[in-house]
Amino acid sequence: MITSHAPLAKEAAGEPTAATRHLCAGVYVDERFRDLVIDEVCTTPYRRVAPSYGFDIVPVMHHAWRAAALSALLRVTVVGAVVTPAFSGALPATVLVTCGLALLWLLRLTMLLRGVEREPGSRRKSKRRGLGLTRGHRHLLRLLFPRRYSEKARALRRIGNAALSLTLAGLAIALLHPDDATTALRIAAGITLMCLGVGAARQLMLNHILHASTLRPSRLSGRQRAADVQQRHVCAVYRRPRHGEDDDDDDLTMFTLFGDESPFIGAGELVYQWNPPMSIQLLRPGDGPGDDEAPLHEREHPVPPFQAHELVEYLREAVQLLDTDGQDVRLHAQVRDRVYVAETDVAMNRSLLPQEFDDANLRIVINTPGSKQHHFLEVTMPAEGSEFVATVLLHVSLQGRTLSISTAACVLAHTPRSFQRTEEFGHHGAAAVIWAAFRELATLPSEVQRSWRIVRYLYALGKAAILPRDLTSTPIRNVLIGSRVSIRERSAQAWSKIQLEKSDILGRMKTIEQRLLHAAGDFLHAKGVDISDFNDRALKIINSGIFNFGDNNNFSNNAVGNAAQVGATPNQPAGPNNPSGGGSQ
C-alpha cells in the first residue's frame, strides 16, 4: 500500500530531533538566520514552505518570533529612553541620555576601525613566525603608506574629538540641571537592567530548548498550521530557473541532469546521480542458445508485464525491511512518496497541486509517463539526531516497451557550531544565564547602532497581522508559489567541507542503491523480463568509482571503458560501451 506521507518517528511522538533543537537555538544566536525565518517563512504566505527533512519548522517559527521580541524589547527601550523624556518636557535629560548613547556608538565605531586596521596577511604572517609587528615596523609602514595611516589616524582623531565634546557637553548640562541628571542616571540604570534581563531571558530560552521534551507551542497559529501542513505534504513545488538567452557560459564538462539549481528543494545539496538514467528494454528471457539472436519484435513484451507502481511498491517494501533489523545493525531508513511539480505548471493548472494525495492518485502519477507531476520514491536516512540527513530519490518510468530508472541523492550536513554551543560545557545552566546577561550588556554599543531595526520588526508584525495565513491554495495573478528558501539548507555545511562523516554517508547511500538495484532485478526476473543487460548495468553502477558530488566536476584527459580514446571530442555521444550509459557519474 502506498503511504503518501509519514512524519519521522521522533517528530510524530513529539520529541524534537537534535536538528530541530539547533535550529530553534539558531534564531537566538544568529540575527540573520532569525530574519530569514521571519521573512521567508513566517510572513510569506504566498509561497509554499519547503519540505522538512529531519526537523520540524513549527517550533523554529515560534522561537523566531520570541527571539525577535527579545531584541525588539531592548531596542525599543533604547529608543524610548530618548523619546520619552523629550515628550515629558525633560529636555536636558533627553540630551544627557542621547550623549551617553552617542558615546557608546562612538565606542562601537572605534572597535570596528581598530578591527579593520589589522591586515589578514599580517596576522597570518605573525602566526607563522610567532612574532607580531614591532613598533619600529609600524613606524616604517607609516612612512611607506602615509596616506592610509593618516586617514585612519584622522578618523580616530575625529572620534576622539567627538567623544570629548559629548563628555564636556554632558558634564555641563548635568551641572546646570542636577535633577535632570538624576533622571538620566535612572534611565541609564533602566537600560542596563533591561539589557541584563534580555540576556538572561535569551539564555533561559536556550536552556529550555536544550532540555524540553517538546518544542511545539500548545496552540498553533494559523500560519503555523499552514506551514505544518505544507512541510509534510507529499507534493513539493520547485522553482524553475529563469529562461536564459545566452548559453555560451554553459560548461560541457559539468555532468548534471538538473542544471545549476537542484529541484529537490529542502533535501540538501545534490551530491550523486545516475547520468544518464538506466534504460532497460522489456525482453523475454531466452530459453535456448539461439534465442538471443531472435528479432526484437519476437523477444520483447508488446504489453509490459507489470505497471510502474507495482515496481515502486516492491522497492518500497524491500527498503523498509532495513529498518526492522536489530538495533546494532539497523539502518534507519524512512521511505515515502514525493511528487515534484514546477511552479509554472501549477500556475497554469491548479489541479496539479491537490490538497492531498491518496493511493489512487499516486498510482496514476507513477503510471503516467511524461506527467508534469514527477514522482520519486524517497528514502531518507537521518544520522546524529538528523544533523546529517542523506536522501535517495528514485524515479521509475515505463514507456516505449522500456523501463527507465533514475536516481539522485542529496545530503543535509550539520548546522553551525554557534547553533550547537548551548550543549557544550559551561554554556548552559545557572552560571551560563549570569554570564549571558553580562555578555548582553557588553553588546549594548552594537544594539544602539541597530536600534533602527525596530522599524523592520513593526513591518514584519504588520505583514503577519494583515496577510492571510495561506495564499497558495488559490491562484493569484503574476504570483508563483514555488518554494524559494529552505532554512535547513541555508544553515547546513557545504558537502565539500564534510570530513569523516562523508564516508559513512556515502556508505549509507551505496547500501540503499545496491538494495534498490537487486530488488529491481528480482522483480523483473519474477515478471519474466530478461535481466542480463540490467545486471551488467547494475554491476557498473555498483562498482563505479566516478561520482557527481555537486560542484563542477571536470574530467580531462581521461579514458574510461572499452575502446575509449582520450582525444574524443566533448560533444561526442556516449557509445554502447561507455560506462556513463546507466552508470554513476
Q: What is the pLDDT of residue 434?
A: 95
Distance CA 447, CA 192 (A): 12
Q: What angle do CA 118, 122, 125 make, to 5 degrees?
A: 150
Distance CA 418, CA 29 (A): 7
Provide the sign of the torsion angle of the four alpha carbons 282, 284, 285, 288, taken in this order: negative
Nearest Cα neighbor of 443 from 78, 97, 117 is: 78
Residues in the chain: 585
Distance CA 356, CA 551 (A): 35
Q: Please check whether residue 209 is in contact with residue 24, taking contact to mean a CB–CB distance below 8 angstroms.
A: yes
Nearest Cα neighbor of 16 from 265, 206, 211, 203 is: 211
Pure H helices in 486-558 = 487-491, 501-526, 532-542
Q: What is the pLDDT of residue 291?
A: 57
Distance CA 397, CA 307 (A): 9
Residue 364 neighbours by CB distance under 10 Å: 14
Q: What is the pLDDT of residue 117?
A: 52
Residue 18 neighbours by CB distance under 10 Å: 19
Phi, psi of 257 (to 5 degrees): -90, -15
Q: Cell for 520?
A: 529491481
User: DSSP letters along 186-241, please?
Assistant: HHHHHHHHHHHHHHHHHHHHHHHHHH-S--S-SS--HHHHHHHHHHH-SEEEEPPP
Q: Which letter does DSSP use for residue 584 in this model?
A: B
Distance CA 155, CA 109 (A): 10
Q: Cell for 179?
A: 535633577
Q: Cell for 127?
A: 602566526
Q: What is the pLDDT of residue 580?
A: 40
b/e burial code for range 520-543 (CB count within 10 A of at least 16 → b): bbebbeebebbbeebeebbebbee
Q: Cell for 480?
A: 508563483
As a whole number of angstroms, the longest Cα–Cα distance in the chain is: 113
Domain ranges of the chain: 234-240+254-416+484-542
Report the amino acid identity of residue 548.
Answer: N
What are 394's strand-pairing partners?
Answer: 377, 407
Q: What is the pLDDT along the chain (585 residues), one digit of tens a residue?
A: 454 444 443 444 468 999 999 999 999 999 999 999 999 999 999 999 999 999 999 999 999 999 999 999 999 999 999 999 888 888 999 999 999 999 998 888 888 777 665 545 444 444 444 444 455 555 544 554 555 556 777 788 888 888 899 899 989 999 999 998 999 999 999 999 999 999 999 999 999 999 999 999 999 999 999 999 999 999 999 998 887 655 545 544 445 677 678 899 999 999 988 878 899 999 988 755 555 667 777 788 888 999 999 999 999 999 999 998 888 888 999 999 999 999 999 999 999 999 888 899 999 999 999 899 999 999 999 999 999 999 999 999 999 899 999 999 999 999 999 999 999 999 999 999 999 999 999 999 999 989 999 999 999 999 999 999 999 988 889 899 999 999 999 999 999 999 999 999 999 999 999 999 999 999 999 999 999 889 888 888 887 754 443 344 444 444 444 555 545 444 444 443 444 444 444
Residue 127 neighbours by CB distance under 10 Å: 10
User: DSSP letters along 251-301, please?
Assistant: -TT---SS-SS-S-TTS-EEEEEBSS-EEEE-BPPPSSTTGGGS-HHHHB-
Q: What is the pLDDT of residue 159?
A: 85
Distance CA 402, CA 173 (A): 89
Alpha carbon 332 to its chain centroid, in Å, reads 22
Distance CA 330, CA 285 (A): 36
CA dist list (Å): 442 to 14, 162, 314, 439, 452: 37, 22, 61, 5, 19
Report the amino acid identity of residue 168.
Answer: L
Stated pTM of the model: 0.83
Q: What is the pLDDT of residue 198?
A: 96
Q: Please check whether residue 47 is in contact with residue 347, taking contact to mean a CB–CB distance below 8 angstroms.
A: no
Q: What is the pLDDT of residue 572?
A: 45
CA dist list (Å): 455 to 76, 87, 461: 10, 20, 10
Report the amino acid identity of residue 494.
Answer: A
Q: What is the pLDDT of residue 4?
A: 42
Q: What angle do CA 385, 387, 393 make, to 5 degrees?
A: 100
